[in-house]
Structure 1
Amino acid sequence: MTRLDEFSGRLAFALDDFQQRACVALEAGHGVLVCAPTGAGKTIVGEFAVHLALTSGTKCFYTTPIKALSNQKYADLVAVYGSDSVGLLTGDNSINPHAPVVVMTTEVVRNMIYANSRALDGLSYVVMDEVHFLADRFRGAVWEEVILHLDPSVRVVSLSATVSNAEEFGDWIQAVRGDTTVIVDEHRPVPLSQHMLVGTRMFDLFEPAHPSVTRSAAKRPARREVNPELKRYIRHRMLLADDSDGRSRGGGRRGGGPRGHRRGGARGPSRPDLVSRLDREGLLPAIGFIFSRVGCDAALTQCLRSGIHLLTPDEAQTVDAVVDRHLEELSPTDEEILGVEEWRAGLRRGFAAHHAGLLPTFRHAVEELFVHGLVKMVFATETLALGINMPARTVVLERLVKFNGEAHVDLTPGEFTQLTGRAGRRGIDIEGHAVVVWTAETVPDQVAGLAGARTFPLRSSFQPEYNMAVNLLGRLGLAGSRELLNRSFAQFQADRSVVGQARKVDDAQRRLRKLDLELIRAAEDRGLEPGGALAEDPSGNDEDFDEADAADAQPYGGFLGYVQLREDIRRRERDLKFERRAAHNQSTVADLAALKRGHVIGLHGGRHRGIAVVLEPAAQSVDPKPLVLAQDAWCGRVGSRDFVNPPQVLGNMRLPKHVDRRTGRGRRDLASALRSTGIEMPRGRSKKRAAAADDRELGRLRSTLRAHPAHRLDGSDDLFRLAERRNRVVREIVSAERVITERTSTLGVQFDRIVAVLAELGYIEIASDRSGAEQVTVTASGELLSRIYSESDLLVVECIRAGVWDRLAPHELAAVVAAMVFEARRESFAGADAMPGNAALRRALADTVDIWRALTALESRHRVDATREPDTGFSVAVSLWASGRTLTESLAAAGERGQLLSPGDFVRWNRQVVDLLEQIRLCVGPGTRLADSARAAVAGIRRGVVAAELG
């Protein structure tokens, strides 16, 4: 009996074909990449790797992108193999870490690799669940680092959602890991039906297949047509909405259209009506995706205000028991501020919200109740689609637009597929259902395009960072580090795109040769010498024409020379324009860097116009961005791109020592004071510099052009159209060759710049050996940096080296570390100039900001992306909490625009502060004052709701 037979014999279901093929390949000693839709059962392959490790006496690491998934997978594996065989490592939790099977987040195994941990001894399999996460622009590089660094003997089991370039991804894994079997399966085990809900009527999105379509034809991919009845009904409602809106305004509609539709009959149903409709249709349990925490909570409140009850009294009692178990760690005071009673009331009626703003224990309770059928309708943000085990019969999308942190953008086909993939419970539902709620902005053809797309391409987000660079240099040296970068998926994709660009160059060069022949013949027909760099191929065979055999004439002789002369003039004019623009930009940059606090300048571009006062000078000189407050109370940083002309100092304004720019009231008061200064914008704008008509080279070229015999030709002649076609092809070749150069050197250039920063700061030492090869030594400071995993890693270590945190009390250290990790949502950024707390803390924060400014100036000089500015928005809250204050006080101190920080965010930021404090404690070593302070700060934070979540 094979080990696969042993494994499958314990399952309650037969393996699907793709699962069988993947497991067979794994048992045969291959690595595997499995790409399959959400809910298809990819994790079975990962669980077989666990089985293989246990039966062979080796180790298996099961990695996931988020802690919630790790916790869930740990519970699943413990239920099968027992707690003695399975461990958990997530940074927050460490349970049985020396077990033969350990579930962990991907960052943990990356850190083990860099630390040469003994835990890697005996490792035979690493499962990388949700491996498509390597496209994540913030954390994606970790997946590539693990795949590249793992010992070749380790078999990697990569599990991915369906991506459109699975074959390309598989080719890369085969290139860097060796023998890997790629298995792509696009079949959903539970079919998915697409619907649109228009008012109270439910329609199929697509027109049913015609009965006459043969079975073989039905299997072929084809563009499915949108249901014509759906389109007719929407047109009818739009007409009714227009008519109703017009009558309501007395027959005249000013600015009607979509705005009127939203007021009239083109609205979606209310949330209670939506839930009632789904219940009547037998489509519960359902997940309603709403791309806003506030929207999720509002939907829950609307349902609570309705008379809908989805659970029986017995089911409600079961809910109470589950809720009580999850709330054991909370005090009565905590329960009151967290709104437990209202939350419980929703659960007892079968409703819930699920988003990152909720306390994690609340989310875990919702997930457990949903799995057991005791939550019928959950309103969730898209984070629920990241693999949490909450399958539903139906998924509902109210909108096809989401806020990505910077702007409202349309959902991509990949996001639509990921969200709707939750619909359809295997072994329970015959089919799943995806329902898009129609509004005036929702076009059925757009929905059909999302539903019919083959998901999304996987793009690497890999790029070198400080911690990565120093770890690579310590392990592999300079040459080895560059070689590893060349093996990354990012470089693999760049190289493949270069192949495409090279094909473009070859094709363009063939077209260029043919155009040259046409031009030569056309010129001869008009009695002109062809001249130029090419002569007619004597063989007359265009395909075999060789430029090396061409006759070389005078630089601008003949018609081809004339064509080249025109192109050289165009290029010279373009270069002069670029030089003028660069000189103008340098002037703007210099003026921006020279601005001082209190200077009043004028803003001409973008959304903000009028006068503005400088609150904080620029921190760097290459791309200076001073912080300003405009007369309309907008506050932000402005750079050279925001100015048509260099900024002009119009006057000065006296500013208080501490400016309140964090609150809306403070900004409004400051804007009012600015307007009252009487300083006004200048009435006219300075004129742009005139064109460099006196450029000698350009003058010489133009004189040569006027004297050329071909210049007397009629400008509308076909010969000139041919010439312009030729020049376009030449420009196409130049552009493609430039792309090739850029793409083949981007990662290497970034890495070399980071190495230069590290060398200048003393984290590495570079010397040449006898052969002239560069040798790198990682210094003691570099060793320290290699153990700090943070977005602000270099800033943290610079502060440790400078000793500016050494004398802080534990709660003060927690506050300054919070400024390293906290990042406010949207417009609540506190920035570095908001210095909270006592004198010692304010001094430490001010010193930290000074170090940050010096660091960003250095980064700017080396053209490295600037380290993120410290944000003190959470510093007061964590300081209060670490010093023993209540949850109510701590939450209030972290308020944004008068709103309490959500409990979920409060716990999440405390987690990150604890994580960095622990890193600092371990790095600086026992017995130091900083290590003792970090240990005490962690102890102060690990209490109450935070302790309940951190374990």
Structure 2
Amino acid sequence: MPSLSPAERYQAARERMVESRTQFAAFKETFEFDLDDFQLQACQAIEAGQGVLVAAPTGAGKTIVGEFAVYLALARGLKTFYTTPIKALSNQKYAELAGKYGSADVGLLTGDTSINPEAAIVVMTTEVLRNMLYASSEALDDLAFVVMDEVHYLADRFRGAVWEEVIIHLPSEVQVISLSATVSNAEEFGAWLDTVRGSTEIIVSEHRPVPLWQHVMVGKDIVDLFAGDTSFDQLNVQSEAVPEVNTELLQLARTEAQNRMRGRFAHGGRGGHRKNNVNRLAQSHQDAGQSPVRKASRAQVILALDRADLLPAITFIFSRAGCDAAVRQCVDYGLMLTTEAERQEISARVEQASQDIPSDDLEVLGYWSWREGLLRGVAAHHAGMLPTFKELVESLFVDGLVRAVFATETLALGVNMPARSVVLEKLEKYNGESHVNVTAGEYTQLTGRAGRRGIDVEGHAVVLWQPGTDPGAVAGLASRRTYPLNSSFRPTYNMSINLIAQFGQGRAREILESSFAQFQADRSVVGLARQVRSREAALLGYQESMTCHLGDFGEYAQLRRELSEAESQAAKQGGRARRGAVDESLAALRPGDVIEVSAGRSPGYAVVIATDPQAHEPRPTVLTTDKETRRIGRHDLQGPVAALGRVRIPKQFNLRQPKDRKNLVAALNYALSTFQDAPSSRVGAFADNRSAAQEEQIAALRRRLRAHPCHGCSDREAHARWSERWWRLRRETDSLVRQIQGRTGTIAKTFDRVCELLRQDDFLESLPGGGLRPTVAGQRLRRIYGEKDLLIALCLREGAFEALDANELAAFASALVYQAKREERGLRPRMPSPVLEHSVDVLVRQWSMLEDQESQAKLPLTSEPELGLLWPMLKWARGKHLEAVLEGTDLAAGDFVRWAKQVIDLLDQLASVPGLAPGVRKTCLQAIERVRRGVVAYSALAA
């Protein structure tokens, strides 16, 4: 490095002297290690008065940037809000900041928890800040900084819009510090921030402070995914070269594929080691057509990691039941990862954490199996666990006392639990509807936990070898470490009415047009316009190629299309008539009817156990001879259906009880045996007959086609092929033009449709001089936040809450927050009282009407209320023990606590809604006290 000139040395010394007088210089002294370049750059930009967007890998130390904003605000006597996407992360950050700055200066707000809300530093979920902004809260006074941790969460399709609302509505003098995982379009997001927030420094770091090695576990052995002695992480920073996949893994995959082609499925074999020759595996198990790999058990995987000194480890299993099962398997195997001294400390901390839990609840909470796993150094971590249990798992893992955690993917979101290794059992997960592959972005987020800064010299990501594993596909996931950040923003009912109340309709439209969603849509128009221009040029060439010397071939081609469309329309009309007949037959079914399910994924016989006369499309719930409960629709039938006969359904029948299901299936099978040759319940085939008018139209088009001059052209079919290409391209081009038109002002157009629906339902009223304002009902809607905001406001207006006592109100509120598993949806339990029955009828009726309105307005549909939590919540509010509450349900204790907290949150919102009917507020507060007890109360700081 060349020596500096005297002038350069003077300038450098001057810069050091200036920096030494800054708050950042003092902040740096609080750390025992040097900060990275991206941290230095971001902190200096904050002190210079700029907003920042920091996009860096998980574990790179982004939160130091947020902590500098906290430090700077305290030094200036101002406030900082630190926002996170989930309560668990808020709780963790609150504990960290309170430990560093003292509990007197730090507060926590998470909807159902309020600690020191007037503090200079307040940690909160992003929804809480959004609600403050709409309420013009005094807490916003003297606010200098807002740290938005995990800001890439704005891509979440359910809650992501909240981040954009906050960014748009924050006062202009507030500096926004956005912390994001590595995204591939950080510059685009930063450009939007610069537009709506003013000067914003975009800081992107691809560097992981702890290099990450990628492996595949073959049998019980750990093998490098990539060839060479440099981790992919380091190689990617140093050059653009992509490393080669380990050729021995490729050979192993080929060998397995060959064995599968021979139709042989066998077991046996050993894996390689990180530096061993895997080819040995493939060659030594060719005999008898064996598969080269025998899958290791979960306990054996942990032991293999322990032998390789790769613990502590987090194993991601995309199933709560799978996580719990993994712990049981390790315990049954006899796995012991702790010393006697460590077990004594774990035992003491377990007793301290659970001292307030009533002894009657311990068994149903799974306390003893949870404790046994912890003593052995293994634990599960998922949303179905009691929050108190989860928090202790996190604490013990960070302290090195728990060395193997089996977790669902929720752990990857922000919670500070780094490990030496991360294991992925599969590269496929169930997303609630179907099994889908893990994306590159998800893989990056999950494996980002590997490698503890300041502890490990390298991190390790391990994928378990499965039959059919493609090493190239795994390498593709591992080598693409970024993913695009796409807005999920759309105007909701609550958002729209708050905007109108604060800014008026015109200004509200302008605000919405400044969203990141519209910013991205407008940018995409440029590319679409370029595509339109190139397609228009191609259309001219196609038109020339289809020219016919006998006449206008475009006219002839149009006749051909009209004929094809007429024939297609006739077929569709017959199909619609058939669907109508099927729907009528489904609507006529009643509980107890025995039917044949003639199509779909599981044809066979079934008994109808529930119907919903209010449903938009009849979909009765049935119990099949295979004991499967599901809802059937027209896609499950070949034609209209009629009952074969009936079976009696007992009054006390409980679908959740295996014994009740078993008895009803037995009655169904007996009934089927009495039917002569089990006749089909199908009414019969439905003829798709054309009408006389349709036949005449089709015949006329055929006559015109034959009479056209081009019909006799010897090159007719060649011209027709060019014509078809022209038509297809014309349709694609017109579609692009419509996209351009649709993307211009997309958000504002949706806002207009929302406003019109709210006006029709009298939540908004027109002003004499133009514009809109909230009605009395609209003012209530302003204070209701959540997915079913308008539905709740409609039920309030219809008096659905008024006659309920505190216990019934808690149960009724559960229907407005609960999200059932797919197999539970649509089932209506017996109501415990006529009053609650009436309220549920109002709820279902209002939802059905709202769904119709939303369909007509082309707005996203409000999800159907779910009643599966109604009885458990009622029992809990009545003071029943947790075991009695959960009996006969599939609910985990942690899930029940989570839903109970959401019920409390909704009741708390309702209690503050203006203009409530007399007594409703008091009943809401009583219901909150009934729900906030026992296991719900002593997990007050939980997610």
Post-superposition offset of 1:186: 1.3
Post-superposition offset of 1:179: 1.8
The farther-off stretch of 485-494 and 692-701 is 692-701
Whole-Å Cα distance in 1 between the matches of residues 319 and 924 of structure 2? 35
2:894 is aligned to: 904
Whole-Å Cα distance in 1 between the matches of residues 512 and 668 of structure 2? 49
Does 2:489 match 1:469?
no
Post-superposition offset of 1:107: 0.3
Does 2:65 match 1:74?
no
Whole-Å Cα distance in 2 between the matches of residues 862 and 210 of structure 1? 57
Q: Specify whether residues 688 and 332 from structure 1 end up closer, same or farther in structure 2 by C-alpha distance, changes over 3 A only.
A: same
Whole-Å Cα distance in 2 between the matches of residues 37 and 489 of structure 1? 23
| 1:867-886 Cα deviation digits (max 9, x unpaired) | 33322222222222222222
Whole-Å Cα distance in 2 between the matches of residues 176 and 261 of structure 1? 67
Does 2:779 match 1:783?
yes
The farther-off stretch of 937-946 and 565-574 is 565-574
Q: Classify the secondary structure of the residue corresponding to 1:87.
A: strand
Whole-Å Cα distance in 2 between the matches of residues 870 and 445 of structure 1? 44
Amino acid at match of 2:330: C
| 1:818-866 Cα deviation digits (max 9, x unpaired) | 12111223423463x2134244433433443344334434444444444
Q: Specify whether residues 398 and 626 from structure 1 end up closer, same or farther in structure 2 by C-alpha distance, changes over 3 A only.
A: closer
1:606 corresponds to which of 597, 600, 608: 600
Whole-Å Cα distance in 2 between the matches of residues 725 and 882 of structure 1? 67
Amino acid at match of 1:388: V
Post-superposition offset of 1:145: 1.2
Amino acid at match of 1:130: E
Amino acid at match of 1:332: S
1:879 corresponds to which of 847, 870, 874: 874
1:548 is aligned to: none
Q: Classify the secondary structure of the residue corresponding to 1:791.
A: coil
CA contact (8 A) 1:190 1:429 kept: yes
1:732 is aligned to: 732
Q: Classify the secondary structure of the residue corresponding to 1:820.
A: coil
Task: Give the total of aligned pairs.
Answer: 890
Whole-Å Cα distance in 2 between the matches of residues 927 and 731 of structure 1? 56
Which ranges in structure 1 are unaligned for 5 or more consecutive residues? 250-259, 529-557
Does 2:807 match 1:807?
no
CA contact (8 A) 2:532 2:733 kept: yes
CA contact (8 A) 2:82 2:124 kept: yes
Correspondences of 1:469-548 after superposition (within 5 Å): 469-516=496-543, 528=549
1:202 corresponds to which of 178, 198, 222: 222
1:189 is aligned to: 209
Q: Classify the secondary structure of the residue corresponding to 2:938.
A: helix
1:563 corresponds to which of 554, 562, 565: 554
1:760 is aligned to: 760
Post-superposition offset of 1:725: 4.0
Instruction: Let me know the Cα RMSD of the aligned residues.
Output: 3.5
| 1:53-72 Cα deviation digits (max 9, x unpaired) | 22222221110000110011
Does 2:912 match 1:922?
yes
Q: Specify whether residues 289 and 705 from structure 1 end up closer, same or farther in structure 2 by C-alpha distance, changes over 3 A only.
A: same
1:379 corresponds to which of 406, 410, 413: 406
CA contact (8 A) 1:519 1:719 kept: yes
What's the TM-score, normalizing by structure 1?
Answer: 0.86
Whole-Å Cα distance in 2 between the matches of residues 764 and 574 of structure 1? 44
Correspondences of 1:676-691 after superposition (within 5 Å): 680-682=680-682, 685-690=685-690
| 1:146-190 Cα deviation digits (max 9, x unpaired) | 112212222211111112222222222222222222121111111
Whole-Å Cα distance in 1 between the matches of residues 781 and 88 of structure 2? 28
Does 2:478 match 1:451?
yes
1:231 corresponds to which of 250, 253, 262: 250
Whole-Å Cα distance in 1 between the matches of residues 266 and 186 of structure 2? 55
Which ranges in structure 2 are unaligned for 5 or more consecutive residues? 1-20, 269-286
Q: Specify whether residues 619 and 460 from structure 1 end up closer, same or farther in structure 2 by C-alpha distance, changes over 3 A only.
A: farther
Whole-Å Cα distance in 1 between the matches of residues 331 and 339 of structure 2? 16
Correspondences of 1:332-371 after superposition (within 5 Å): 332-371=359-398
| 1:186-222 Cα deviation digits (max 9, x unpaired) | 11111100011111222100111699x9x99983323
Post-superposition offset of 1:686: 2.0
Q: Specify whether residues 172 and 301 from structure 1 end up closer, same or farther in structure 2 by C-alpha distance, changes over 3 A only.
A: same
Q: Classify the secondary structure of the residue corresponding to 2:53.
A: strand
Q: Specify whether residues 445 and 783 from structure 1 end up closer, same or farther in structure 2 by C-alpha distance, changes over 3 A only.
A: same
Q: Specify whether residues 593 and 236 from structure 1 end up closer, same or farther in structure 2 by C-alpha distance, changes over 3 A only.
A: closer
Post-superposition offset of 1:507: 0.6
Correspondences of 1:12-23 after superposition (within 5 Å): 12-23=32-43
1:547 is aligned to: none
| 1:596-635 Cα deviation digits (max 9, x unpaired) | 45367875542244677594245355xx243342755655
2:620 is aligned to: 627
| 1:469-522 Cα deviation digits (max 9, x unpaired) | 2222222322233333322222222223332222111111122234445666xx
CA contact (8 A) 1:53 1:59 kept: yes
Amino acid at match of 1:472: L
Does 2:938 match 1:942?
no
The farther-off stretch of 336-345 and 101-110 is 336-345
Q: Specify whether residues 488 and 653 from structure 1 end up closer, same or farther in structure 2 by C-alpha distance, changes over 3 A only.
A: farther
2:572 corresponds to which of 555, 576, 581: 581
Correspondences of 1:250-261 after superposition (within 5 Å): none
Amino acid at match of 1:465: T
| 1:435-473 Cα deviation digits (max 9, x unpaired) | 111121322112111111243222222222222222222
CA contact (8 A) 2:642 2:683 kept: no
Post-superposition offset of 1:569: 3.4
Q: Classify the secondary structure of the residue corresponding to 1:873.
A: coil
1:51 is aligned to: 71
1:111 corresponds to which of 125, 128, 131: 131
Amino acid at match of 1:928: P
2:457 is aligned to: 430
Give the % identical residues.
Answer: 45
| 1:576-595 Cα deviation digits (max 9, x unpaired) | 63576368437735873786
Amino acid at match of 2:240: P
| 1:79-127 Cα deviation digits (max 9, x unpaired) | 2222222111011211110112111000000111111111112222111
1:546 is aligned to: none
What's the TM-score, normalizing by structure 2?
Answer: 0.87
Whole-Å Cα distance in 1 between the matches of residues 260 and 638 of structure 2? 45
Q: Specify whether residues 734 and 836 from structure 1 end up closer, same or farther in structure 2 by C-alpha distance, changes over 3 A only.
A: same
Amino acid at match of 2:314: I
1:542 is aligned to: none
Q: Specify whether residues 608 and 83 from structure 1 end up closer, same or farther in structure 2 by C-alpha distance, changes over 3 A only.
A: same
Whole-Å Cα distance in 1 between the matches of residues 69 and 161 of structure 2? 24
CA contact (8 A) 1:818 1:913 kept: yes
Amino acid at match of 2:564: E
Q: Classify the secondary structure of the residue corresponding to 1:15.
A: coil
Amino acid at match of 1:174: D
| 1:344-374 Cα deviation digits (max 9, x unpaired) | 2221221111111111111111111111111
CA contact (8 A) 2:647 2:668 kept: no
Does 2:466 match 1:439?
yes
Q: Classify the secondary structure of the residue corresponding to 2:803.
A: coil
Q: Classify the secondary structure of the residue corresponding to 1:287.
A: strand
Amino acid at match of 2:764: I
2:284 is aligned to: none
Q: Specify whether residues 824 and 880 from structure 1 end up closer, same or farther in structure 2 by C-alpha distance, changes over 3 A only.
A: same
